[in-house]
Structure 1
Amino acid sequence: MRPRLVVVGDSLLDVDITGAVSRVCPDAPVPVVDVAGETDRAGGAALAATLAAGDGASVRLVTAIADDADGDRLRAALAGVDVVAGVAASTPVKARVRCAGQSLLRLDRGGDGPPARATDEMLDAVRDADAVLVSDYGRGLAACERLRAVLAEVDVPVVWDPHPRGPEPVPGITLATPNLAEATAFAGTGDPEAARLLRDRWRASAVAVTTGARGALLDRGNGVEPVPAAAVDAADTCGAGDRFAAAAADALMRGADTYAAVEAAVAAASRFLAEGGLSASRPEPTPEALIAAVRARGGTVVATGGCFDLVHAGHARTLAAARALGDCLIVCLNSDESVRRLKGPRRPIMGEADRAALLRALACVDAVVVFGEDDPRRVLARLRPDIWVKGGDYDPDDLPEADLVRGWGGRVVTTPLLPGRSTTRLAGALAEAG
């Protein structure tokens, strides 16, 4: 069994609202953002957990999530992450309005009510950890006395990423990772002496004060050691601290000494920023968000569907023709199980993940939705496109979904096939070629 890193702390929902600015509001000197999409992302401790999981670490997130609509969105953003969660009073949300890679405005809401308290299941998860990262976002979980007692007792590396509004780390931790502003607030000084002062006060084995582009200042009890960073030109440093703390905890869990762990963390944070930071890791807008953005601009939503097993020139022509009919194209893709029922047990040739990735790589495709039914009526009822396109020699009236689409005022369009191109023909040619 692989060692497990447990990330403990306050989780937030981050929302990125992206768009373009081409004019100024006529009644106030502010830019007008034409919204193109809205995406949800795990934030706070949940971000640290997803970043660590993205490195291949075995990660469990111990947190609290509210039973509200934003909490449901946060859970969806955490799909694939092992979560042990108590109940929070409400979900903190940070919504950033972004244009051309820059944040224009942040809107905060939620997070009200009493702080969450650790449940027995949460405490057991911490006890089972091979290393712990406390990702404190000042919302109260790190102040829970029962949790603090367990954190003070565990005999594994503990990394504490503090917050100015949060409590001080429990005594005896392996490494604290405040940034320079946090270290200054805690220690009352911003010079390299802050690392030593905090290490003594917190009775920590080591303190690494992160200093942005200069890397980190590490104190392990034998003087302050600079850990330099590679030069990186980064406009948006959001998430770099979480990237640093998660990498340090993972390295300590794998047996690195403190200096090597901080060195690895500095390198990981630099690499994270060089690759675009959170901008590079933001998920694509959901189809629903894409549709809402297109309709807000008065645009036309087009959808098409099929198996798309071995994409060929005929598919490409149909997709390009469909996209030309409107302002976005959503492809409804049959799942593997659906293809097997429709085409037989030897199909699909390519799995749904590969088929979806190939379709998304085409410039004419804006989003892909995988559905598991034998026909697309259920997914169409959810998306409600203005135009539904099918490639082939169909009579639109013979399509089972035609009446459904027309029911909300949509149109059904068919495009002719490109002669001599088919998946079956291509598969046969490949089999003959060996």
Structure 2
Amino acid sequence: MSDLARHIEALSTARVLCVGDVMLDRFIYGSVDRVSPEAPIPVLRIERETAMLGGAGNVAANVIALGALCRFVSVVGDDAAGSELRHLVAMEIGDNAGIIAEPGRQTTVKSRFIGGRQQLLRADAETVADVGPLWFDSLLGAAREGLAEVGAVILSDYGKGVLSDALITALIGAAQRAGLPVVVDPKGTDYTRYRGATVLTPNRKELMQATGLPADSDAEVAAACQRLIDTCGVGAVVATRSERGMSVVTRDGTAAHLPAEAREVFDVSGAGDTVVATLTAALAAGVPLEDAARLANLAAGIVVGKVGTAVVRAPELLGALHEQEWRHGETKVVTRDEAVERVARWKLRCKRIGFTNGCFDLLHPGHVSLLARAKAGCDLLVVGLNSDESVRRLKGPTRPVQAESARATVLASLAPVDLVVIFDEDTPEQLIRALRPDVLVKGADYSIDQVVGADFVQSYGGRVLLADLVAGQSTTNTIKRMQG
């Protein structure tokens, strides 16, 4: 959780190039109180209209909402809707220099007619054709110019003709030479046209259509994603699975399945745009792929709770993360076997594992200071907690004051703590040997030769950290003061 919080803060440093099919999403709201005498259809009395960026424009808007910068390149028609779109891009993205107007092209407009809360009709106006050769060079030039300023690239393909095969090949090749990750929100069924991309982000239906494979269970989704990786020459697939969450599969066969984070679902339109924007902004900020996917999954859970084409802002992500941490605090309390498995996964991600232990009976500033100093010395902190029986043997029949479940819950709620493991032995020696932490932390009232497990940790290159204590703070003293 603390890693994700830091990653959210880092989004403001991201610079992203987004190339794709921009659209004008128009919403016409009104009320219906009669049926037309001309045909058995409702008559919508129009009350208001709104317009916003859609398609790749919504992707770019989501990048901006996260606090990142976005260089946006697309094509519109030389018409009134195109002028309106260029104005919206200038207002919301900050720069419309990359929006090229092609004469003879009809700007894509999706008009939705809504009576009360019910969508009655959607009417589309568009040209579905590759950008003409006279404008292709301008489009490619604008995109290549943006590559010099960014840390990652989005190709947002809605199949309207901006992302022709030739443009995709040229942009992926240029990004590869520049060392930039390319994330593709794909369209159609032939994903070989995206060969060389870093990540593809199909939804479950698109995944099945592109591979011809089922995609219901985790194993089936992983197999279908691996098929895309093998046949299309991409680095990874992040598959969105609606209420089943998201799956991240990489070229080496590693698969991570993330549960859905949505609390309420009002509208799923645009959720894919939010996912690809968040994922790419995170990669541009240097966030590892799986953590970037976790942020994208969190963002998707927020945006489906909104109505219409919407964006997610960084403070919303942080707030959702804190809520998630509160809701899932108990999942930090695990058995020894679960801890061993989780620590092994963390180590595969090159995380430095810290370990400290104690009774943590009545939590006081000394405990908080110890845990903060322990976390400062590692990436992820595991806390070994003496069970009630263990505490009684060590401290006497009147202790602990709080049961192990209560002590574990309090510890799990603290930001520096990533995992809590209850152990029954008098010392954490067996637990330390099972986890093999990189950093072993104990209070500075111990010497290294007194720290249980120190010799073992040092034997494989780990280190022992003695943390300074807050003077006068102890559970025993607290209890004495309570007793007068």
Match of 1:92 among 100, 105, 108: 108
Aligned partners of 1:147 and 1:28: how far apart in 2? 46
Q: 1:123 to 1:277 in 2, by over 3 A?
A: same
* CA contact 1:162–1:168 (8 Å) conserved in 2: no
Partner of 2:237: 207
CA distances 1:243-280 after superposition (whole Å, capped 9, x unpaired): 01100001111111111111110100111122445269
Partner of 1:384: none
Q: 1:202 to 1:102 in 2, by over 3 A?
A: farther
Q: Does 1:259 align with 2:290?
A: yes
Partner secondary structure for residue 60 of structure 2: helix
Shift of 1:114: 4.4
Aligned partners of 1:101 and 1:141: how far apart in 2? 33
* CA contact 1:5–1:129 (8 Å) conserved in 2: yes
Match of 1:137 among 149, 153, 158: 158
Shift of 1:7: 0.6
Q: 1:101 to 1:175 in 2, by over 3 A?
A: farther
Partner secondary structure for residue 78 of structure 1: helix
Match of 1:186 among 191, 210, 228: 210
* TM-score (ref. length: structure 1): 0.60
Partner secondary structure for residue 210 of structure 2: helix
CA distances 1:299-348 after superposition (whole Å, capped 9, x unpaired): xxxxxxxxxxxxxxxxxxxxxxxxxxxxxxxxxxxxxxxxxxxxxxxxxx
* CA contact 2:86–2:99 (8 Å) conserved in 1: no
Partner of 1:269: 300
Partner secondary structure for residue 260 of structure 2: coil
Partner of 1:163: 187
Shift of 1:233: 2.9
Q: Which moved more, 1:45-54 or 1:142-151?
A: 142-151
Q: 1:18 to 1:277 in 2, by over 3 A?
A: closer
Q: 1:231 to 1:119 in 2, by over 3 A?
A: closer
Partner of 1:172: 196
Partner secondary structure for residue 300 of structure 2: helix
CA distances 1:82-112 after superposition (whole Å, capped 9, x unpaired): 2312333220111111233332211011225
Shift of 1:120: 1.8
Aligned partners of 2:156 and 2:83: how far apart in 1? 21
Partner of 1:104: 120
Counterpart amino acid of 1:261? A
Shift of 1:162: 0.4
Aligned partners of 1:153 and 1:280: how far apart in 2? 29
Shift of 1:71: 0.2
CA distances 1:410-433 after superposition (whole Å, capped 9, x unpaired): xxxxxxxxxxxxxxxxxxxxxxxx
Alignment of 1:2-401 (within 5 A): 2-80=13-91, 81=93, 82-83=95-96, 84-88=98-102, 89-112=105-128, 114-116=130-132, 117=136, 118-154=139-175, 155-164=179-188, 168-191=192-215, 192=221, 193-220=223-250, 221-278=252-309
Aligned partners of 1:113 and 1:270: how far apart in 2? 34
Aligned partners of 1:207 and 1:181: how far apart in 2? 14
Partner of 1:291: none
* CA contact 2:30–2:47 (8 Å) conserved in 1: yes
Aligned partners of 1:166 and 1:120: how far apart in 2? 26
Counterpart amino acid of 1:73? E
Q: 1:41 to 1:195 in 2, by over 3 A?
A: same
Counterpart amino acid of 1:238? S
Aligned partners of 1:61 and 1:280: how far apart in 2? 16
* CA contact 2:199–2:236 (8 Å) conserved in 1: yes
Shift of 1:223: 4.0
Q: Give aligned-pair identity as a percent.
A: 31
Counterpart amino acid of 2:159? G
Partner secondary structure for residue 37 of structure 2: coil
Q: Which moved more, 1:262-271 or 1:101-110?
A: 101-110
CA distances 1:145-172 after superposition (whole Å, capped 9, x unpaired): 1452232232112110001278645323
Counterpart amino acid of 2:246? A
Aligned partners of 2:115 and 2:239: how far apart in 1? 31
Aligned partners of 2:140 and 2:108: how far apart in 1? 20
Partner secondary structure for residue 141 of structure 1: coil
Shift of 1:210: 0.6
Aligned partners of 2:128 and 2:229: how far apart in 1? 33
Q: 1:242 to 1:188 in 2, by over 3 A?
A: same
* CA contact 1:138–1:165 (8 Å) conserved in 2: no
Shift of 1:30: 2.2
Partner secondary structure for residue 58 of structure 2: helix
Aligned partners of 2:171 and 2:193: how far apart in 1? 13
Shift of 1:226: 1.1
Shift of 1:48: 0.5
Counterpart amino acid of 1:140? G
Q: 1:196 to 1:144 in 2, by over 3 A?
A: closer
Partner secondary structure for residue 134 of structure 1: strand
Q: How many residues are paired up?
A: 281
Partner secondary structure for residue 274 of structure 1: coil
Aligned partners of 2:85 and 2:143: how far apart in 1? 18
Aligned partners of 1:207 and 1:108: how far apart in 2? 31
Q: Which moved more, 1:116-125 or 1:211-220?
A: 116-125
Alignment of 1:391-430 (within 5 A): none
* TM-score (ref. length: structure 2): 0.54
Partner of 1:370: none
Say what the alpha-carbon RMSD is for the aligned residues. 2.3
Partner secondary structure for residue 294 of structure 2: helix
